[in-house]
Structure 1
Amino acid sequence: MNFSIFWRAAFALLFCLYIPALSAQDSAPAVPAQAAAEAHWLSRDMIAWNAPKGSDLILLSDGEAAAPLVAAGQVDGDLAAAYPHLRGISLWRIHDGSRDRVRRWLKGRVDIRAQDDAAQELQRTSLQIGGVLDDLYANDAALGARFDGAKLHIALWAPTAQAVKLHLFDGPGDAARAVLPMTEDAATGVWHLDGAADWKGKYYLYEVRVFVPETGRVETNMVTDPYALSLSADSKRTHIADLNDPALMPAGWDKMRRALPEAPEDRVLYELHVRDFSISDASVAEEHRGGYLAFTDAAGNGMRHLRSLAEAGLSDVHLLPTYDCATIPETPAERLSPPDLSGFAPNSEQQQAEIAKVKERDGFNWCYDPLHYMTPEGSYSSDADAAARILEFRRMVMALSDAGLGTIVDVVFNHMMASGQAPLSVVDRIVPGYYHRLDDKGAVARSTCCANTATERRMMEKLMIDALTVWARDYKVSGFRFDLMGHHSRENILKARDTLRRLTLQQDGVDGRNLYLYGEGWNFGEVANNARFVQASQMNMGQGTGIGTFNDRIRDAIRGGGVGDKGSDSVRKQGFANGLFTAPNAMNKADDAARKEALRIADHIRVGLAGSIGDFTFTTADGMVRKAKDVSYNGSAAGYASDPQEIINYAEAHDNQTFFDISALKLPRDTSPADRVRWQNIASSIVLLSQGVPFLHAGQELLRSKSLDHNSYNSGDWFNLLDYSKAQNGWGRGLPHRADNEAEWPVARDLLSDQRLHMGPADIARASDHVREMLHIRKSSPLFRLRSGAEVIENIRFDNVGPDQIPGLIVMRLGTARAEEMIVVINTAPQTQSVPVTGRYKLHDILRRSSDPVVRKARMKRGQLVTPPLTTAVFVKAR
């Protein structure tokens, strides 16, 4: 599970204090607050509800009897397939539920009353209306403010609205120059207005008059456009922009045609936060720091570093969310900054205490708090009140392309920052009760800790796919990473994939067939175990979809334990790459139990190295020959993919502790700085030499530390330091914030003040060199980039397996039995290991020239491959 999600609900409430509500109540007196919505209006004439037995049901429209309901059995068959969580619920048919009547009823309050034979009310419920709105209105209309040549058309889907007007403004702070009524197309629920060409650059808000269930009355909401392409600062008004306007295109943009990697397995991903990249980099122009334009500073430390990684084999920069998010003040004058924190002790509470005073108003947040999906975030631009964000985002994409890198954007369609009448709610103040997933009582589900969206609803799915199309076509990105993808349906993601595949280089400037999609396939919440639909979860996406999912199996085996470990478990549960059995810490011993666990974890490493292909077969620690799908990972299959491109291998990401920090907790305290680098390099080696798609967190190659903070989403620039000058790695910048890290504080106080964990520039450079070397090796041979499950099964084999294996030693052979080309030896033992082989091998040329004098000692001697301690060596068959 992604533990960054737990901050979101509380954070939504905090930020609401800073943006005034854009809604007003009608003068009509309120009716009683809406009853719980336990009934489900599935289609024009069908409603599911477990009403009191023997009762008669009446549909009420604005409190008046509108139509009787007739029993129609239970939810089964096709309906149960569409709504599995409603299977077996009583089904009722509306008598005389014509389309016109139903559309009229949906413009106001609708309830169901259950009554006895004497017409006495027994129970009353409201209705969940997502299904019936899909049945009546789902469509493919072009929405938002869109130009067709000089013609401007503005459209809003609001089928339950009683009236919609458009307020037009000359500037972001001006009074309305006009208030214009919009016209509804009754068949589609879309409200239309034709604008004038000279509206380009102006601003607008919708005034939506609509019944709101949570207040039980008709409200008049002033709201931005969910299809906004540009916004004023802090998203207060929609800005009218034409993405085809030459003024918004950098020189050469219209001719840019970036060729994408031939296969997903040729990619290596680098996860990076826009602000982290440059905010602390003195080599970048001051006015560019923390923003899109920092990527255009070719001589800056960051871009020089990215170019060196790209030359070695890095393919894509994966940017944390860059759409408009809710929690960063976009006007610099409104932001706060902490005082100078450099004078405090490395284990002090003062740093996080000072940051806590400003963190809701500083310039930092991870941006997993969506507000508008189609607009670049304004805080990263030079002017959030205009279309500079569009031009500058495009300049960033071009700069990365010039460096040989694609741009992947992180997208969060599984939730929005708020719902209902909350100030940061957008879609729910336009079509209340539709865009968000509801529980069995009609409350918005919040298993992601924000207001979950219902992407199974057709118009929410359309919003998602339309946004993806904008980013792919109009910003020429090379792929998408889906946050909490398991909260989407499998069909949802496949429909997005198929839509994007229709984009072409000739017509759209991007080859949609080679866009790469991947995400977090975690299985939890109200959708868990396919409760609402077939999820886009690991097990469901690893079956020929070509969609990647993050591989927590190899992550946990490398790191030890799980991402939810707290307190002593964070220290006790060592992993393959931080000392399990071969370097036990003070809480562990190299005993039989540890040996057994080390062998079990080594099997998980082997499965990951083989791309987690379910049908890959090898000898497991108990001596049995098993397929990877029959190796257990917490009761699930360790190997679950059919194709390597369906696996994202990683050791660290923005979530949880960095690998350096988790190893600071787990490695023996007296581990030398040089050996800490070697352990880190082993983790990076496993990721980069595995079949599938490798994923690096920015700074992983620099021993990046966040001073033990495992959830730094709102910890400011101080704890999220990324230093491309390689002068420091971020260790010892104070105790991390209490809320998520307090269980580790006792050991953290001691660790952060221990000078033995200080890493100098030479240590950082060695880790950086190693990652580049591994990238070069991966790039040097297609054997590290096999493109099908069948190729993996044919070309990957392991020695040193079974119950009698040497713990901490992985020996992977690459190539067919007839034409073996390479052997990878990963040695986590404190002593040199020798592996007997037939034939002649030599150390890979990249490693023979390595900056690491230890790996240069790896060699073939008397029929054995000799590998030094804490070393990954790659041997090539001599010719």
Structure 2
Amino acid sequence: MKTRAAWIDDVYVLTVIMEDISLLLHKEESPIIYWKYKNKHFPTKVEKIIDASTARLIFFEELPMGENLVLKWGEEEIPVYPGSIVRTNWFDKNYSALNTELGALYTKTSTTFSIWAPTATAIKLYLNSIGFLLNRQKNGVWKLKIDGDWHGYSYDYEIIVNGEIKRVNDPYAKAMLANSKKGVVVDFAKTEKIHSNRPKLQQLQDAIIYELHVRDATIQKESGVLNKGKYLGLTEKSTTTSNGFSTALSYIKELGITHVQLLPINDFARVNELNPINEYNWGYDPLYFQVPEGSYASSPKDPISRIMDSKKMIQSFHEEGISVILDVVYNHVFVMEESPFEILVPGYYFRYHADESLSNGTGVGNDLATEREMVRKFIIDTIDFWLNEYNVDGFRFDLMGAMDIETMKQIQERCAKEDVPIMLLGEGWELNTALAADKKATSFQSHQLMGIRFFNDRFRDSLKGNLFDHHDTGYANGNGRFNERMPHLVTGSAIEEYGEPYVSELDQTVNYVECHDNHTLWDRLLITNEQFSDAERKKMHQIATGITLLSQGIPFIHAGQEWFRSKLGDENSYISGDKINQLDWKKREQENENIEFIKTLIALRKKYDVFRLPSKEEVRRRFHILDTPVPVFGFALFGNEEDFSIYINPTKEHYELQLPSSGSWIISVTNDFQREQKEIKGEFTFIGPYELFVLKKSR
């Protein structure tokens, strides 16, 4: 904050700051705001002396934004700048440009440069290092049309705002020079076209999500991939380890999942795109939201390469029948002060508390004010761009609980225009951001966001223990602890008679026990079940993953979870490097038997729709809790042609079981790989230590 300035903090409020405000209080002349361009004066009066250096003045006419104004007070001339006024409804009402297309708008004969900066007093475009003054339009939009074919040329802006001259990149840039130095004009007709159609599920409830980091997937030598750690690494088919085990894209296809959820692939910080090998990032430090990350490109010096490569990757997934969900971060930026948002319209894009302190509910220093009109417009424009140009199939919203409900509704409305259903899911946590609780897109508000899915931390913690207590246990690793919660969890966490609903409808729950955050499930079991053998921990792991795949709702698997992925105990590996984060394809060879177990569960879920019922009414009709010795849990699912009985034993003990009916029951899947019995005749059987099995009987 400047030490000598007057800030417009509300429609008729001016806050004056200078070293000693008392020097002005005894002046005979009343303070006046002067607008030189129109030779106009705005009378003011002192309303309150706040402290020795601050006074609050009021005035009686609305002031123009983006003009050179001064406060004349005696002999003093104090510059007047927009302050907290930018966070008022008045500002949004008067300066929003919701119907204006922003960015570098290319045609073969000209490019129109359009940028929103209503508080700026001048903007100059630097195109190929040549300067051009932009023209101010209504609603704070600045524009200039320049004739010529500018595809591939770099550009940025010089802006004068609040009395300072700064260089800034276009937040609507679609391509960048390496390391985000400048934006680049793009003719998308010259880039890769995604010709494959989006894969289509009958309903999104049929989805099985596999979370993947582009670099992790192929960076290891044993991946057998040529373009290791790159977008193109996930286009290569029939790749194998040296021993002939499938890897990368081919492996993911064989696993049987329906969607990959890619950790952020838009431009992010902390990794030198020209020499990325010694740096690493998950991608949750966003810089430019409409530009693919350059460190994954085959040629990061070529600004078009990242566009071409990422499109080829998405097309390759589509060709294998796999949908692509992008993990997007619309809740914060990497460094607020360096963000083009803050440089272009200081104070507008971010949330503040009533005391003018910066909101930090995200825990990373800033919260995007998604509820403001032009922030919401940017988010929806960005969603629209990835849908239209990259043909993606869904979005996972990082810290969605920090976003507002109305923005999420408008995103959903935009996505509903696509021919194929678009998957929308997010972290609906309650966060201490400066937004009213009833406006936050949290799981508590799921009834307002039907069709949007929420990560279910109750499901996660009930199976493996409270995430924030390293030694806490749950059903899978705590001898059946929380057994009473199991009916609620396996029926989609939405059936009222089994517990307080986590979400309003069962198609809104995303069930998971592991993701990129925190310990992998295997690393957690090494802490919570230190005295147990590896064999026992593996069976606990299988129980947790098995319940995830057999429950109503949408199952979510972290890449490598199916082979007991470890990050060597690293709980927060967001910048920990390849040794910690890479997918270990050697481990994939060693644990192929467990991978086959997971593949069988996935195939079972996909084949029989009783594992993915569409409504609470159908669950009530087809689900039945079975009589079992505690803490063994059993449930039945009644299909039209087959009935299933699922049993889970989270202990070291053997138990005798009485099946729901006599007959011939086929063991469809079990994690007891030594069990020779494949069929049970009659109504009695047993379940071994830490065993999960699924029985099927035809009607």
Whether the TM-score (by the shorter chain) exceeds 0.5 is: yes
CA distance in 2 between counterparts of 1:69 and 1:686 reads 68
Classify 1:67/1:858 alpha carbon distance in 2 versus 1 (closer, same or farther; 3 Å): farther
For residue 869 of structure 1, the aligned residue among 684, 689, 695 is: 689
The answer for the alignment partner of 1:79 in structure 2 is none
Task: List aligned pairs for 1:128-277, cutoff 5 A.
Answer: 128-131=85-88, 132-139=90-97, 140-148=99-107, 150-169=109-128, 176=129, 178-185=130-137, 187-211=138-162, 218-243=163-188, 245=189, 247-249=190-192, 253=194, 255-277=195-217
CA distance in 1 between counterparts of 2:329 and 2:204 reads 22
- Report the RMSD for the aligned CA atoms in angstroms: 3.2
For residue 239 of structure 2, the aligned residue among 297, 300, 304 is: 300
Shift of 1:547: 0.4
CA distance in 1 between counterparts of 2:341 and 2:524 reads 40
- SS of the residue corresponding to residue 284 of structure 2 reads coil
CA distance in 1 between counterparts of 2:485 and 2:5 reads 52
For residue 630 of structure 2, the aligned residue among 801, 807, 819 is: 807
Classify 1:845/1:306 alpha carbon distance in 2 versus 1 (closer, same or farther; 3 Å): farther
Classify 1:60/1:869 alpha carbon distance in 2 versus 1 (closer, same or farther; 3 Å): farther
CA distance in 1 between counterparts of 2:431 and 2:212 reads 26
Task: List aligned pairs for 1:707-856, cutoff 5 A.
Answer: 707-726=568-587, 761-762=589-590, 764-800=591-627, 806-815=629-638, 821-840=643-662, 842-844=664-666, 846-847=668-669, 852-854=672-674, 856=676
CA distance in 2 between counterparts of 1:310 and 1:320 reads 18
1:274–1:291: 8 Å Cα contact kept in structure 2?
yes
- SS of the residue corresponding to residue 647 of structure 2 reads strand
CA distance in 1 between counterparts of 2:666 and 2:171 reads 53
The answer for the alignment partner of 2:61 in structure 1 is 96
Amino acid at match of 2:395: F
Matching of residue 503 in structure 1 with residue 407 in structure 2 = no
CA distance in 2 between counterparts of 1:110 and 1:493 reads 42
Shift of 1:67: 4.7
Amino acid at match of 1:102: P
For residue 376 of structure 2, the aligned residue among 461, 465, 472 is: 461
2:352–2:434: 8 Å Cα contact kept in structure 1?
no
The answer for the alignment partner of 2:292 in structure 1 is 376
For residue 335 of structure 2, the aligned residue among 400, 418, 421 is: 418
- SS of the residue corresponding to residue 540 of structure 1 reads helix
CA distance in 2 between counterparts of 1:703 and 1:564 reads 21
Amino acid at match of 1:275: R
Amino acid at match of 2:413: D
CA distance in 2 between counterparts of 1:662 and 1:68 reads 64
2:66–2:120: 8 Å Cα contact kept in structure 1?
no
Shift of 1:539: 1.1
Shift of 1:674: 2.5
CA distance in 2 between counterparts of 1:412 and 1:491 reads 17
1:329–1:363: 8 Å Cα contact kept in structure 2?
yes
Shift of 1:796: 1.9
Classify 1:798/1:379 alpha carbon distance in 2 versus 1 (closer, same or farther; 3 Å): same
Aligned residues: 661
Matching of residue 477 in structure 1 with residue 392 in structure 2 = yes
Task: List aligned pairs for 1:63-78, cutoff 5 A.
Answer: 66-68=42-44
The answer for the alignment partner of 1:605 in structure 2 is 486
The answer for the alignment partner of 1:401 in structure 2 is 318
Amino acid at match of 2:441: A
2:507–2:553: 8 Å Cα contact kept in structure 1?
yes
CA distance in 1 between counterparts of 2:454 and 2:517 reads 15
Classify 1:403/1:110 alpha carbon distance in 2 versus 1 (closer, same or farther; 3 Å): farther
CA distance in 1 between counterparts of 2:598 and 2:4 reads 60
Which protein, 1 or 2, shows the higher relative CO under an 8 Å CA cutoff with sep ≥ 6?
1
CA distance in 2 between counterparts of 1:865 and 1:674 reads 23
1:544–1:643: 8 Å Cα contact kept in structure 2?
no
- SS of the residue corresponding to residue 84 of structure 2 reads strand
Q: 1:839-879 CA distances to partner (integer Å, 9 max, x unpaired)?
A: 345555643xx785345537535422432221111112233
For residue 680 of structure 1, the aligned residue among 537, 541, 565 is: 541
2:665–2:681: 8 Å Cα contact kept in structure 1?
no
Shift of 1:807: 3.3
Q: 1:179-220 CA distances to partner (integer Å, 9 max, x unpaired)?
A: 0010010x2211001123421110001111111xxxxxx111
Q: 1:467-502 CA distances to partner (integer Å, 9 max, x unpaired)?
A: 111111111111000000000111111111101222
- SS of the residue corresponding to residue 617 of structure 1 reads helix
CA distance in 1 between counterparts of 2:518 and 2:496 reads 30
2:666–2:697: 8 Å Cα contact kept in structure 1?
no
Shift of 1:724: 2.5
Normalised to the residue count of structure 2, the TM-score between the two structures is: 0.87
Classify 1:305/1:256 alpha carbon distance in 2 versus 1 (closer, same or farther; 3 Å): closer
Classify 1:234/1:815 alpha carbon distance in 2 versus 1 (closer, same or farther; 3 Å): same
Classify 1:148/1:827 alpha carbon distance in 2 versus 1 (closer, same or farther; 3 Å): same
CA distance in 2 between counterparts of 1:319 and 1:404 reads 16
CA distance in 2 between counterparts of 1:293 and 1:392 reads 6
Q: 1:383-426 CA distances to partner (integer Å, 9 max, x unpaired)?
A: 22321000000000011112221111100010011223xxx321
CA distance in 2 between counterparts of 1:444 and 1:267 reads 39
Shift of 1:715: 0.8
Amino acid at match of 1:262: Q
Task: List aligned pairs for 1:605-624, cutoff 5 A.
Answer: 605-613=486-494, 615-618=495-498
Q: Identity over the aligned pairs, expressed in percent?
A: 30
For residue 127 of structure 1, the aligned residue among 63, 77, 84 is: 84
Shift of 1:823: 1.3
Matching of residue 327 in structure 1 with residue 270 in structure 2 = yes
Classify 1:864/1:195 alpha carbon distance in 2 versus 1 (closer, same or farther; 3 Å): farther
The answer for the alignment partner of 1:494 in structure 2 is 409
Q: 1:329-368 CA distances to partner (integer Å, 9 max, x unpaired)?
A: 1112xx5x6xxxxxxxxxxxxxxxxxxxxxxxx3311110
Classify 1:820/1:503 alpha carbon distance in 2 versus 1 (closer, same or farther; 3 Å): closer
Normalised to the residue count of structure 1, the TM-score between the two structures is: 0.70
Gaps of 5+ in 1: 1-29, 49-54, 72-91, 114-123, 170-175, 212-217, 338-361, 505-510, 583-597, 619-627, 630-638, 728-760
1:363–1:379: 8 Å Cα contact kept in structure 2?
no
The answer for the alignment partner of 1:366 in structure 2 is 282
Amino acid at match of 2:307: I
Amino acid at match of 1:519: G
CA distance in 2 between counterparts of 1:315 and 1:59 reads 66
2:359–2:434: 8 Å Cα contact kept in structure 1?
no
For residue 435 of structure 1, the aligned residue among 324, 335, 349 is: 349
1:269–1:694: 8 Å Cα contact kept in structure 2?
yes
CA distance in 2 between counterparts of 1:718 and 1:62 reads 61
1:810–1:826: 8 Å Cα contact kept in structure 2?
yes
1:145–1:152: 8 Å Cα contact kept in structure 2?
yes
CA distance in 1 between counterparts of 2:262 and 2:135 reads 40
For residue 431 of structure 2, the aligned residue among 513, 524, 537 is: 524
CA distance in 2 between counterparts of 1:641 and 1:540 reads 8
The answer for the alignment partner of 2:228 in structure 1 is 289
